[in-house]
Amino acid sequence: MTNNEDWRELYPFESNYLDLDGLRLHYLDQSPDQANPILMVHGNPTWSFYWRNLVTALEGNNRVIVPDHIGCGLSDKPNNYNYCLEQHIDNLEKLVTTLDLKNITLLVHDWGGAIGLGTAVRMPERISKIAVFNTAAFPPPYIPWRILACRTPVFGKAAMQGLNLFAKAALSMATVKPDRFTKQVCNGLLAPYDTWANRVGIATFVADIPITKSHPTYQVLDDIENNLKTLADKPIKLIWGAKDWCFRLECMERFQTHWPKAQSHVFEDAGHYVIEDAHERIVPLLEELLDSPNQS
């Protein structure tokens, strides 16, 4: 971890850990005495810090659980590990079953979409409501050139693990409101990724993007998409930053084909880090979702 700890003022939460065959998966469990669990699932290259403004706004009246994937955040970052989508889904499923979470409101972003919704289609009876932020849960319809560049064998690994360019670039490329990315916020987003070894999760998430159908994760994503219909009757909000160059609006539109009853909310002045750009406007939408009646 970085020696600059000023970000902890923005992250005043108690740490919890789940044992996964000897590895520690870090997670927040705020207001655990409350019912109505909210499960927030991050993507790459973020961690539970990304959800901090929503955690602060929603805890108290709700139980809020926010894990860090293995390789990310305050979780263990082993060098030799099966870093793939299916394994991350297995890990999240174990967290849900260990904590015996039911009536879950699921929030997902970036790779957290595939991981969270991959878990949801395995156990739809535990999921009550869903909010989806700039993500996908299907084989990628396109690969942005900036992602392809990170897949090059030598340059990509050196850039992501050696120079931390993937996480650092996101501080400007994933937002349209750079004034929100104060030094303190930037320190928080980058804090767990301060060495080559600690950036293994960032690199392996990028490597797990299936460019061809022969990639093992392609079939996992295809299976998730084929089962999205099992969630279609639940209250769902699609909340999108329109200026995202990675998960563009066509990704939201693809979700709409599976979930025609979902409510869509597009922020024209927000990017991929939509919660950083627009969390004040997102909180009322989530409160509305939480107050909505459950699936009959």
Write down the pLDDT at residue 232: 98
- Which amino acid is present at 259? W
Write down the pLDDT at residue 1: 55
H-type alpha helices, the chain: 52-58, 85-98, 111-122, 145-150, 155-157, 165-173, 183-190, 200-207, 216-227, 249-258, 274-291
- Which amino acid is present at 269? D
Residue 263 lies in a domain: yes
Write down the pLDDT at residue 159: 73
Residues with Cβ within 8 Å of residue 238, at least 6 apart in sequence: 132, 252, 255, 256, 259, 262, 263, 264, 265
Query: Could you report the per-residue pLDDT of 43-86, keeping only the tens digit for each?
Result: 999 999 999 999 999 999 999 999 999 999 999 999 999 999 99
Write down the pLDDT at residue 128: 98
Residue 196 lies in a domain: no
Write down the pLDDT at residue 295: 65
Query: Could you report the per-residue pLDDT of 200-244, keeping only the tens digit for each?
Result: 999 999 999 999 999 999 999 999 999 999 999 999 999 999 999
Write down the pLDDT at residue 166: 83
- For residue 2, pLDDT over 70 is answered with no
- For residue 18, pLDDT over 60 is answered with yes
- Which amino acid is present at 243? K
Helix (H, G, I), strand (E, B) or coil at 68: coil
Answer whether 12's CB lies under 8 Å from 48's CB. Answer: no
Residue 20 lies in a domain: yes
Write down the pLDDT at residue 4: 75
- For residue 127, pLDDT over 80 is answered with yes
Number of independent structural domains in the chain? 1
Q: Domain containing 123: what range? A: 12-141+213-291
Query: Could you report the per-residue pLDDT of 128-173, keeping only the tens digit for each?
Result: 999 999 999 999 988 886 777 777 765 677 777 887 888 998 999 9
Residue 152 lies in a domain: no
Residue 2 lies in a domain: no
Of residues 100, 91, 40, the one with CA closest to residue 64: 40
Pairing of the two strands 63-67 and 104-110: unpaired
Model pTM?
0.95
What is the side-by-side strand order in the sheet with 23-30? 15-20, 23-30, 63-67, 37-41, 104-110, 127-135, 236-241, 263-267
Residue 181 lies in a domain: no
Residue 111 lies in a domain: yes
Write down the pLDDT at residue 145: 66
Query: Could you report the per-residue pLDDT of 175-191, keeping only the tens digit for each?
Result: 999 899 999 999 999 99
Write down the pLDDT at residue 149: 74
What's the burial of 17, exposed, middle or buried (CB within 10 Å: 0-12/13-18/19+)? middle
Task: Please report, rounded to a whole number, the percentage of residues in the chain having pLDDT higher than 70.
Answer: 96
CATH number for the domain harbouring residue 108: 3.40.50.1820
Q: How far apart are CA 41 and CA 93, in angstroms?
A: 12
Write down the pLDDT at residue 3: 55
Write down the pLDDT at residue 147: 78
- For residue 28, pLDDT over 80 is answered with yes
Query: What DSSP line would sit under 274-289, residue for residue?
Result: HHHHHHHHHHHHHHHH
Of residues 273, 291, 234, 293, the one with CA closest to residue 53: 273
Write down the pLDDT at residue 225: 98
Residue 104 lies in a domain: yes
